[in-house]
Amino acid sequence: MKYKRVAFVIGGIGITPVISILEYIVEKKLGTNVLLFYSNRTEEEIAFKNELDAWMAQNGNIKIVYTVTDCPPKNKTCIFGAIDQRLLKENINDCGERTFFIFGPPRMVDSVKPLCVGINAKEVLTESFIGY
């Protein structure tokens, strides 16, 4: 993988391409440092959670922060609320070294991109998923 330090900021089904990327990183035992911020409306909507948790346990270079927006989570590993600049700053101490990928619904992508630019991300790449 061309990127050594990445941060994914993902909403809902935007996780789909990230699954393939993370699977590749884990299978090839790459040293890529990954921070994944993954937001859903509810805990039940967190797609691929078992796989994500297993990869995080298997690879110390992968850290995942789950957020839910519609109701307080039952699971203490999930944070209640939307991904915001405070959450990003609290969890990333090397923004200028990371390429950020933002995938999700257009409104989410549009609202998160300025946050990443505002914390001096090395590069910000986006993809909007329409129709869900």
Percent of residues, the chain, with pLDDT higher than 90: 83
- Rg, Å, the chain Cα set: 14
Report the SS3 class of residue 33. strand
The Cα–Cα gap between 68 and 60 comes to: 24
Report the SS3 class of residue 83. coil
SS3 content of the chain, % helix, strand, coil (to 5): 40, 30, 35
What is the reported pLDDT for 1?
Answer: 62
Q: Which token pair is 130? A: 């329409």
More confident call, 120 vs 19: 19
Q: Which domains does the chain have, with CATH numbers?
A: 5-128 (3.40.50.80)
The Cα–Cα gap between 70 and 57 comes to: 27
For the segment 40-47, the average pLDDT, to the nearest whole number, is 94
pLDDT band at 34 (very low <50, low <70, confident <90, very high): very high
132: pLDDT strictly greater than 80:
no
